[in-house]
Chain A
Amino acid sequence: MNPTALAIAIAYAAVCLVAAVVLLVVWRSTVSPRPRRQDTTDTARLARGEKAWFAIAVAALGVLLLATIPFIPYGRGAGSPGDQTVRVEGVQFAWVLDAGRLVAGRPVTFDVRSRDVNHGFAVYNSDDVMLFQVQAIPDHPHEVRYTFRKPGTYQIVCLEFCGVNHHRMISTFEVEPR
C-alpha cells in the first residue's frame, strides 16, 4: 500500500471510531431510563451550541487544509524538472512510450498526452503500489515529474475509463541503476 494511502486508512479509521462513539452515546441516550429532555429549555441552549460547533468545524477543516496544501502535486508542489524526459501517449488501448534510458535517483519529466479519449496515466511499481497519477486528455498535454528511488520495472495502468479494453491498457518500462 502506498504510504499516503496507509496514512489515510489509519486516519479514517481513527475518526470513524470517534464518530462511532458519539453515535452510540446518542443511541443509548434514547433508550436510557433517565428523564427525557423537554422542549422548552434546552432546544434553545443546544441551538446556541450549534454556533460553537460551526466554529469547531471551520477550525478543523482549516487545519486540514493548511496541513495538506503543501503536498498538492502541482503548482509549487510539482517537483523540480530533470534532464530525463519521457513522452507518453495514451491510445485505445496502449501506452506509447518515447523513453530513452531512465536512471533512478534523478527526476523524470513525463509529457503525458492522449491521441483519442480521456485516459488516466498512473504509475505503479512492480509490487502493484501506486506511485502517482495524472489524467491524459486529448489536445491538453500534462507534465508530471517524479524521481524513481529504486531501479526496476514499473507499470503504467490506465485509471480513466476509456472503453472496452480499458482494463488491459497496461504497459511497463524499466528504470536502471544510476
Chain B
Amino acid sequence: MSAHDFAPAEPVADPAERAVARRLTMWYLVASTAIFLVAGILGAVLRGSQADIYRLGDDAWYAVMTAHGLGAFVGWGAFAVMGFSWWVMSEVGFPMGRAGARLAWAAFWLMVAGVAGVVVTTLGFGFGGSWVFLYPLPFNSAGQWGDATTAVFSASVLLAGLSIIAWCLAVLVVVTGPGLRSRSGSAWNRLGAAMGFGFLAPRRFPTERPVPYSVIPLTVIAIDMIIATLPLAVLLVVMIVQAIEPGVSVDPLLAKNVLWWFGHPVVYLLLFPAVAIYYLLVPRYAQRRLVAGDIIAVGWTIAVIANVLVWAHHMYMDYPNGIQAAINTAMEPMTFSLTLVSALSLYSLLFTMFRSRWVWNAATTALFLGIVSWLLSGLSGVVNATISFNAFVHNTLWVVGHFHHMALLNIGLVIFAAVYAFLPKLTGRALYSDRLGSWHIWLTFWAGTANSVIWLIQGLDGAPRRFAVLPRGYDGLTAASVPVIAVLALAQLLFVWNMVQTIRGRTTAAARREALAGVTRPRPTSAALQGGVAVLTIALLGAMGAAGWAAGRAGDEAPRASGFAALAAGPAVSEPGGPPSPGREVFLSAGCGGCHTLSAAGTTGTVGPALDGAGLAQPAVADVVANGRGAMPAFAGRLSPAEIRAVAAYVAESSRP
C-alpha cells in the first residue's frame, strides 16, 4: 500500500473508548482555560505597570512575571495541547487503553498540582526568579524570598516536569497500541512505524493502513520530551537538596545547559501537538487529503534528532571557553535544519488549503490565521537562530515579541481552533455562536499581532526584556501597547462566554431561527465581512496606537540620552524625598539606592544593610565607598574623591538616628 491511496482514517467506533478520551480532553480543556485567563490577566498587569498606569513594586512585578511565564506557557499552552492530543488520537482511531488513560490522568493531576505550587510560591511567597529561574538566582534572592520558597518552587516545577513525562509515556503507549494496526510484534518497530518510517520503508514498518499524519509529531515530541525533561528533573532535585543543605551546589554553566536542554524542546511540546491538530483539521475543512509527500517523514526524522541538539541557541551569548563556543556555533546549522520541518509543514498545510473547497467558520479562520502567525513568527525565529543577528536581539524585547507571536498567535489560535472545532463533539451540543467565535479570532489575531510587533520594534531599538521599569525613551510604544492589550483581553471574554454557553447547551437566536426554518444558515463569515472586520480593526488599533504614542511622547520630556542612567536612581526619580544636595545626587546616580534603603533619598534597596538610623560617621562611610566591603564593590575608580566625600557626608547626615 502506498502513501497516496488511502481514505481518511475512520475513528474507532467504540463509544466507551471515545468517552474516555472525551472526558480527559474536557478536563484538560477546562483547567487550562482557567489558567489561561489568570495568566493573561497577569500579563496585562505587567504591561500596565511598565506603561506607568500604576506601578507595581519591583518585587511584585518580578513575582508576577514569573507566574505569568510559567502559567501561560506551561499551564495554558502546553497543558491545552497536551489535552487535545487525546482527542486528536481518538479522532484518528487510536484508543487510549487502560494504561494510556491512567497515565493521562496522572499527567493531569501532576500538572494541576505543579501550577498550583508555582502560583502559591510566586504570588504568595514572592518567588521572582523568572520562569527560567537561572541557577543560582533562586538562592541569591537579595532578600526577596527564602531557600524554603525556592525548594517548594523547584518541587512545583518538578511536578509539572513529571506531568510532561507521564504525558509522553501515555502518548507512546497509545501510538504503539492497537490503533497503529501494526503487523510487527517489536516495540521498536512499532515506534518507528508511529514516527512515519512506513512512508519511506513500507515493508520494514508494515501497518494495515498508513499512519495518520497527526500521529507523527505526537510520537516525535513524546520521545524528545522524555530525553529533555530527565536532566532538568535532576537539577530540580539538586536545587531542593541545596535549599536544605547549602553545601551542595551546581556549576552555573552546566545548570544553564541543562535548563536549555529542556527549555528548547518544551517550546516544541507546544508546537508539535499543535501541528498534529493542523494535520487533522486542515484536510478535514479543505475536504481533501493533506498534501504531503514521503519527504514529510524525512522532515520529522530530522526533527526528532535536531530538537534535542539545538539547546545552545538560547546561549549564543555564553562563550566562556572554546567548547561552549564550538557547541553554540554548531547549533546554528542544527537550528536551521529544524526550521525545515516547519517549512515542510507550512507547504503541506497551505497547499492543502489552496483552491480547496475550504469552509470558512470560526475554527477554520483560527487555523488559517494560526498558519499565518506560524510563518511570520517562524521568520523572526530565524533571526534569533542566526548568531550574528542574535547578538543584537538577545535578551531584548524582540525575543518577547517573537515568542508571544509564536505562543499566543500560532499555538493559541490552534487551541482556539480546536475548541471551536471539537467542542460540539466533546459536549454533544452545537457551538453557541460561530459569529462570536469569528470576532474572537479576528480581534485576537490583530491585537495579538500588533502587540508582538510593538515588542519586536522596541527590542530592535535595544529595549531590554525583564525590566520592571523601562527607560523613558521606550514610553511611547509601551503606552501604545495598552489599548492593544485591552482589545486582546476583551476578545478573550467573547471566547469564554461562547465556551460557557456551549457547555450549558445554549443556542443563539440565529441558530434557533435556522432550526425552525429548516434551512441552512448563511455563511456567517463572508469574505466581505472578514475583510471589513480586518480593515476596521486595523484602523481602530492604528488610531489607538497613535493616540497612545502621542500620549507617551507628550509626557516624555526627559532627554532620550539619559534613559538607562535615570533608572539606576530607582524610585527616587518619581518621589523626591529631600532637598537636593551634591551628595544626594551622587547617591542616586551611582546606584547606591539599588542596594541600600535610605528614606532621605527615597530608596528601598534590600541587598545591602539599610542606612536609615545607622548613625554612620563620614570617614567610615568614605572608606567603605572607596574600598568596598564584603559584597559591596569599591567605588574609588568610578567616583572622584570629591564625589566620595560628598556622598559620605550625605549618608552620614541622613543616617543619623
A residues in contact (CB < 8 Å) with B? 1-2, 4-6, 8-9, 12, 15-16, 19, 22-23, 26-27, 29-32, 34, 36-39, 43-44, 46-51, 53-54, 57-58, 61, 64-65, 68-75, 77, 89, 91-99, 115-118, 120, 122, 124, 126-130, 132-135, 137-142, 155, 157-173
**In the complex, residue of chain A having the shortest beta-carbon distance to the beta carbon of B326:** A75
Instruction: Please judge, given known A-B contacts A39-B289, A155-B565, A164-B62, whether A75 and B464 are in contact too, CB under 8 Å.
Output: no
Asked if residues A133 and B565 are in contact (CB atoms below 8 Å), the reply is no
Asked if residues A65 and B637 are in contact (CB atoms below 8 Å), the reply is no
Asked if residues B460 and A165 are in contact (CB atoms below 8 Å), the reply is no
Asked if residues B348 and A50 are in contact (CB atoms below 8 Å), the reply is yes
Contact of A169 among B355, B394, B396, B594 (CB under 8 A): B594
Asked if residues A137 and B252 are in contact (CB atoms below 8 Å), the reply is yes
Asked if residues B355 and A166 are in contact (CB atoms below 8 Å), the reply is no
Chain B residues in 8 Å Cβ range of A48: 293
Best-surrounded residue of A47, A48, A171 (most CB of chain B within 10 A): A47
Number of interface residues of B (CB under 8 A): 112
Asked if residues A118 and B340 are in contact (CB atoms below 8 Å), the reply is no
A79 to chain B, nearest CB (A): 13
**In the complex, residue of chain A having the shortest beta-carbon distance to the beta carbon of B348:** A50
Chain B residues in 8 Å Cβ range of A116: 136, 140, 631
Chain A residues in 8 Å Cβ range of B353: 26, 29-30
Asked if residues A2 and B392 are in contact (CB atoms below 8 Å), the reply is yes
Contact of A74 among B319, B336, B464, B570 (CB under 8 A): B319
Asked if residues A29 and B354 are in contact (CB atoms below 8 Å), the reply is yes
Taking the complex as formed, is B638 at the interface, i.e. its CB lies under 8 A from any CB of chain A?
Answer: yes
Chain B residues in 8 Å Cβ range of A97: 637-638
Chain A residues in 8 Å Cβ range of B293: 47-48, 50-51
Taking the complex as formed, is B248 at the interface, i.e. its CB lies under 8 A from any CB of chain A?
Answer: no
Asked if residues A64 and B382 are in contact (CB atoms below 8 Å), the reply is yes
* CA of A53 to CA of B333, assembled, Å: 18
* CA of A122 to CA of B380, assembled, Å: 22
Asked if residues A118 and B134 are in contact (CB atoms below 8 Å), the reply is yes
Asked if residues B344 and A54 are in contact (CB atoms below 8 Å), the reply is yes
Chain B residues in 8 Å Cβ range of A58: 340
Taking the complex as formed, is B200 at the interface, i.e. its CB lies under 8 A from any CB of chain A?
Answer: no
Contact with A along B441-482 (1 / 0, CB 8 A): 000000000000000110011101111111101000000000
Contact of B357 among A36, A139, A168 (CB under 8 A): A36
Which of B154-162, B371-379, B574-582, B647-655 sits within the interface? B371-379
Asked if residues A162 and B137 are in contact (CB atoms below 8 Å), the reply is yes
Asked if residues A118 and B591 are in contact (CB atoms below 8 Å), the reply is no
Contact of B355 among A23, A29, A54, A158 (CB under 8 A): A29
Chain A residues in 8 Å Cβ range of B595: 92-94, 165
Which of B24-32, B70-78, B216-224, B383-391 sits within the interface? B383-391
* CA of A157 to CA of B395, assembled, Å: 11
Taking the complex as formed, is B102 at the interface, i.e. its CB lies under 8 A from any CB of chain A?
Answer: no
Instruction: Please judge, given known A-B contacts A142-B320, A167-B468, whether A43 and B291 are in contact too, CB under 8 Å.
Output: yes
B603 to chain A, nearest CB (A): 10
Asked if residues B333 and A65 are in contact (CB atoms below 8 Å), the reply is yes
Q: Offer 11 A-B interface pairs, CB within 8 angstroms, sorted by A.
A: A2-B462, A4-B391, A50-B292, A50-B351, A54-B340, A71-B387, A93-B594, A124-B462, A167-B470, A170-B565, A170-B567
Asked if residues A47 and B292 are in contact (CB atoms below 8 Å), the reply is yes
Best-surrounded residue of B379, B392, B467 (most CB of chain A within 10 A): B392
Chain B residues in 8 Å Cβ range of A118: 134, 137, 252, 256
* CA of A159 to CA of B396, assembled, Å: 8
Asked if residues A49 and B351 are in contact (CB atoms below 8 Å), the reply is yes
Asked if residues B386 and A99 are in contact (CB atoms below 8 Å), the reply is no
Taking the complex as formed, is B563 at the interface, i.e. its CB lies under 8 A from any CB of chain A?
Answer: yes
Chain A residues in 8 Å Cβ range of B328: 74
Contact of B395 among A23, A64, A77, A120 (CB under 8 A): A120
B475 to chain A, nearest CB (A): 13
Chain A residues in 8 Å Cβ range of B606: 164
B residues in contact (CB < 8 Å) with A? 4, 58-59, 62, 128-130, 132, 134, 136-137, 140-142, 144, 251-253, 256, 288-289, 291-293, 295-296, 298-299, 315, 317-321, 325, 328-329, 332-333, 336-337, 339-340, 343-344, 347-348, 350-351, 353-358, 360, 368, 371-372, 375-376, 379-380, 382-383, 386-389, 391-396, 456-457, 460-462, 464-471, 473, 527, 560-561, 563-565, 567-570, 591, 593-595, 605-607, 628, 631, 633-634, 637-638
Instruction: Please judge, given known A-B contacts A8-B460, A26-B354, A163-B137, whether A133 and B59 are in contact too, CB under 8 Å.
Output: no
Chain A residues in 8 Å Cβ range of B4: 43-44, 47
Asked if residues B350 and A22 are in contact (CB atoms below 8 Å), the reply is yes
* CA of A166 to CA of B137, assembled, Å: 12
* CA of A128 to CA of B217, assembled, Å: 44
* CA of A113 to CA of B650, assembled, Å: 31
* CA of A169 to CA of B469, assembled, Å: 12
Asked if residues A30 and B356 are in contact (CB atoms below 8 Å), the reply is yes
Instruction: Please judge, given known A-B contacts A23-B372, A47-B292, A118-B134, whether A164 and B58 are in contact too, CB under 8 Å.
Output: yes
Chain A residues in 8 Å Cβ range of B129: 163
Instruction: Please judge, given known A-B contacts A1-B460, A168-B568, whether A160 and B395 are in contact too, CB under 8 Å.
Output: yes
* CA of A130 to CA of B458, assembled, Å: 12
* CA of A98 to CA of B638, assembled, Å: 9
* CA of A142 to CA of B324, assembled, Å: 11
A142 to chain B, nearest CB (A): 5
B236 to chain A, nearest CB (A): 18
B24 to chain A, nearest CB (A): 33
* CA of A160 to CA of B394, assembled, Å: 9
A32-B355, A75-B325, A168-B569 given; name 14 further pairs at CB < 8 Å. Answer: A8-B393, A50-B348, A68-B389, A74-B329, A93-B591, A94-B595, A116-B140, A117-B252, A164-B58, A164-B62, A165-B58, A165-B142, A168-B593, A170-B564
Instruction: Please judge, given known A-B contacts A124-B462, A157-B464, whether A163 and B140 are in contact too, CB under 8 Å.
Output: yes
Asked if residues A5 and B347 are in contact (CB atoms below 8 Å), the reply is no
Chain B residues in 8 Å Cβ range of A172: 565
Asked if residues A19 and B462 are in contact (CB atoms below 8 Å), the reply is no
Asked if residues B462 and A130 are in contact (CB atoms below 8 Å), the reply is yes
**In the complex, residue of chain A having the shortest beta-carbon distance to the beta carbon of B528:** A31
* CA of A138 to CA of B631, assembled, Å: 14
* CA of A76 to CA of B598, assembled, Å: 48
Asked if residues B344 and A89 are in contact (CB atoms below 8 Å), the reply is no
Chain B residues in 8 Å Cβ range of A159: 394-396, 464
Contact of B393 among A5, A132, A165 (CB under 8 A): A5
Asked if residues B347 and A50 are in contact (CB atoms below 8 Å), the reply is yes
Contact of A71 among B288, B357, B388 (CB under 8 A): B388
Chain A residues in 8 Å Cβ range of B460: 1-2, 5-6, 8-9
Instruction: Please judge, given known A-B contacts A61-B340, A74-B319, whether A128 and B354 are in contact too, CB under 8 Å.
Output: no
Instruction: Please judge, given known A-B contacts A1-B462, A9-B460, A171-B591, whether A61 and B136 are in contact too, CB under 8 Å.
Output: no
Asked if residues B462 and A91 are in contact (CB atoms below 8 Å), the reply is no
A43 to chain B, nearest CB (A): 5
